[in-house]
Amino acid sequence: MRKIRTKADADRKMKRNNLIVGIVLVGLLVLSTAGYSLISSDEEDSDGVSEFGVDFYRSNNMWAAEIGGGVFWFQNLPSEVSDIDVNISIGLGDYANQPLYFVNPNEGASEILNNFGNYVLRYQEACLVNSSCDGDLPAKGCDSNLIIFESGDSNIVYQNESCVFIVGDAVRATDAFLYNVLGVN
């Protein structure tokens, strides 16, 4: 048989049980939040690198850096593309508020647009004057801001007037190009 309890005894037991459950839940919330923040801060600190006077941090499998008041994203660090010969004399100001054209766009063009998209007036695929063009693309010469991607065995970036030729591994050579334009070298 069950023992007969008064309403006051039942209320007291229910309050005590609710208090215990509440304390356990609050403790669980505090410990899980503290654990997450400790784990996250360890990951961020371990993925920070400083090269050429610029601090890089790893986020979403990309390297990010604040350069000249803007945040730029790269797939490679400057030390990983230092073997690529870059012979250009173009700065970010040369692209500001100007149209930008790409010949043979690829993953490198996407990376350039991710970084320069807010600076250029517009961007478009084009073809180089005096070359065969597929489709209805405008023909542009080296008097326009033209970035030309070419395949090749060696990685090199060079300039002819306002044309920039990115040859070889599009991603690595594009990162080398971006670092040079941003003055990280």
pLDDT digits (tens, 9 = 90+) for 111-147: 999 999 889 999 999 999 888 887 788 899 999 999 9
pTM for the whole structure? 0.73
89: exposed, middle or buried (Cβ count in 10 Å: 0-12, 13-18, 19+): exposed
Rounded-to-integer distance, Cα 141 and Cα 29, Å: 62
How far apart (Å, rounded) are the C-alpha atoms in residues 136 and 114? 25
- Residue 44 confidence (pLDDT): 45
Residue 119: CA count within 13 A, CB half-sphere:
20
